[in-house]
Chains A and B, each alone.
Chain A
Amino acid sequence: MITVKEVKRSLLVSLWFVFLTFPLMVIKVNPYERTVSWRWRNMVYVAIGTFVITLLAKAWFARKEKRMARQQDSCHLRLPIIQRILQKPGYRNSLAVFLLGAALAFPHLFSTYQANIMTTALMYIVLGLGLNIVVGVAGLLDLGYVAFYAVGAYSYALLNLHFDLGFWTVLPIGGLLAALFGVLLGFPVLRLRGDYLAIVTLGFGEIIRLILENWNAFSKGPSGISNIPRPGFFGLEMSLDQAMIYMYYLMIGLLLVTIFVVNRLQDSRLGRAWLALREDEIACQAMGIDKTRTKLIAFSLGAFWAGLIGVIFAAKTTFVNPASFTFMESAIILSIVVLGGMGSIVGVILGALILVLLPEYLRALSEYRMLAFGAILVAMMIFKPEGLIANVRRSYCYHGKKSNTALKNDE
């Protein structure tokens, strides 16, 4: 329930924001023509917008508190609807079959243009799943993820340019090269504390981009490398449309492999060690886990996927230049992981679909895309740090008996 006091407070907040945003939102100067335009309408938007948002935030927190209080009475945990569906193997499997069918039929139901957009979304899903190993599961905040993506893309571009290597040859090479970069960078920096790691990876990402931009002899500088061949299919000649649809199916295949692999990794000795490492490094070491090695594996596995997608990106666009590998790209991928739910595969898929497709289809919104990504990172941390779809811990069978079938919600 909204009380008068809350309305008053929200009014105050909105007044504060009117003041705060006044110079930037209201005044706009043209320094060349020396004119000033006063955009008073923006002030009204800010006032109404912040008022409503503040009220909503207050209502959210009140509801959350109530729910927490209720949960303490009955320790029964009610899972959100999506998770309850996912838990029932029957539902889960039929849902998976339906989704797969829809995905396979997609290019035939819609235009090639749509399939092309979907391919991009699929690429981001795989990138998100790769980063999810690093950030979501192992808890290593990697802000330079795009660097490994760049390594993959440029390996294909350069190896093709100089040695005429084909897509299928370079695909594993690109992945491995990126993983190698991951090891080289990770080895010295993974012993650093979390926040330092974040900034070093950020710096590394920028170094790679700046080198690509400035080392003309190596990378052809800002103009980039063009005429990169699309992937071949047993030497078959393909039209542009066919090539795009082929690309789409290729990504579906890679996505399935990725989901399979990531799922198995998470549910393994290594996956448990990553989770434990995210929670308490000292306890982990005391339990005999080699901290640096375990982190390094997560880091380079994440890099491997970025490298693979990098190769595919180069093949899809047939052109690479350093502008595709800015920090903002890393930020988008991070938003996908954070929005979806750190450590959760279904969450990452959903997050990528929302963040890639929404601005694509709502053109009006695409201008606000980056603004939204920033807001999502902040808002998710404040309101729902576990993401849209929280990671679910599995329970284990002992001597074949299910000891406790209730799955627990990872809060």
Chain B
Amino acid sequence: MMNKSILEVSGLTMDFGGIRALDRLDLDVGPKEIVALIGPNGAGKTTFFNCLTGIYLPSAGDIRLVSPQTGKQSRLNGLKPNKITKKGVARTFQNIRLFSQMTVLENVMIGRHCRTSSLILGAILRTRRTRKEEQETIDKSYDILEKVGLSEQANEFASNLSYGAQRRLEIARALATEPFLLLLDEPAAGMNPQETADLVTLILQIRDEGHAILLIEHDMKLVMSLSDRIFVMDYGKKIAQGAPAEIRVNRAVIKAYLGEDEGPDNA
């Protein structure tokens, strides 16, 4: 393993009524690492993301975050989603949740919200500080759009983008929050091979810029080629973890994917 991890999850458990969606899950992500979380549909992967980002309150277990810049440790359980984002964890959504009636650039500018601070008075009086902040927001957002290749469509409505472009915009919006850990929920779903190839390049570029990435993905080729490590889940439990080469030959993983009925699709 690389040096000290930035995310440590231990014993994470999530119950919905009588159903245990996550069962004592342990997971860790190191700095600048690409970690994949795979498993059959309904294994609890998205639930795991929802616990990490504060949308669900986990029933038990610990989620700890260590900021690579400051080394400060914090516990994420019970924090509101916006607080968690502010601490440096950002995510995309499996079923795209863009602000479709806003422009592409505005979507990214929303991501800058938690790194900026002007409020009512600033907005009304348009002080120098506010104007500077606003221009910075625009410029930084634009830079990010250039990075993901959407600067041409900056003033289009988000809903007018193609499917693949919308997924990239979700990544851009998440990047705008300046995360050190980026959670991607099926970033390649619905993409054609060319778009997927571009996505791989983009993810590697993001990693090289210093972000750690935890991703859920069904495209095994992408997972195997990108990931440093892979965690495999089934029925809310972790059934394997290791480097891609190890996972490829893991008996339990093969059994989970091929041997048994798939659970209901609620991922």
The chain A residues found within 8 Å of chain B, CB to CB, are 75, 261, 264-265, 268-273, 275-276, 279-280, 282-291, 297, 301, 393, 395-399, 403-404, 406, 408, 410-411
- Which residue of the partner chain A has the closest CB to B54? A285
Please name all residues of chain A whose beta carbon is closer than 8 Å to the beta carbon of B110 when the two chains form the complex. 272-273, 276, 284, 287, 289
Q: Does B80 belong to the interface (CB within 8 Å)? A: yes
Whether B90 pairs with A286 at a CB distance below 8 angstroms is yes
Partner of A275, one of B82, B102, B120: B102
- Which residue of the partner chain A has the closest CB to B116? A269
**Chain B nearest Cβ from A198, distance in angstroms:** 21
Whether A297 pairs with B97 at a CB distance below 8 angstroms is no
**Chain A nearest Cβ from B54, distance in angstroms:** 8
Bound form: Cα–Cα A403–B138 in Å:
12
Given contacts A287-B177, A393-B102, contact A264 B126 (CB under 8 A): yes
Partner of A285, one of B82, B126, B157: B82
Whether B106 pairs with A393 at a CB distance below 8 angstroms is yes
Which of B101, B114, B118 gathers the greatest number of chain A CB atoms within 10 Å?
B101
Given contacts A269-B134, A297-B119, A404-B155, contact A279 B82 (CB under 8 A): no
Given pairs A269-B137, A270-B123, A273-B110, 5 additional interface contacts (CB within 8 A): A285-B54, A286-B85, A287-B85, A289-B113, A301-B120
A-B pair count, CB < 8 Å, reads 134
Please name all residues of chain B whose beta carbon is closer than 8 Å to the beta carbon of A286 when the two chains form the complex. 53, 55, 81-82, 85, 90-91, 93, 97
- Which residue of the partner chain B has the closest CB to A407? B155
Bound form: Cα–Cα A275–B111 in Å:
13
**Chain A nearest Cβ from B214, distance in angstroms:** 15
- Which residue of the partner chain B has the closest CB to A260? B124
**Chain B nearest Cβ from A146, distance in angstroms:** 24
Q: Does B109 belong to the interface (CB within 8 Å)? A: yes
Bound form: Cα–Cα A71–B133 in Å:
38
Whether A283 pairs with B93 at a CB distance below 8 angstroms is yes
Q: Does B100 belong to the interface (CB within 8 Å)? A: yes
Please name all residues of chain A whose beta carbon is closer than 8 Å to the beta carbon of B122 when the two chains form the complex. 268-269
Please name all residues of chain B whose beta carbon is closer than 8 Å to the beta carbon of A271 when the two chains form the complex. 123
Partner of A287, one of B105, B113, B160: B113
Whether A272 pairs with B123 at a CB distance below 8 angstroms is no
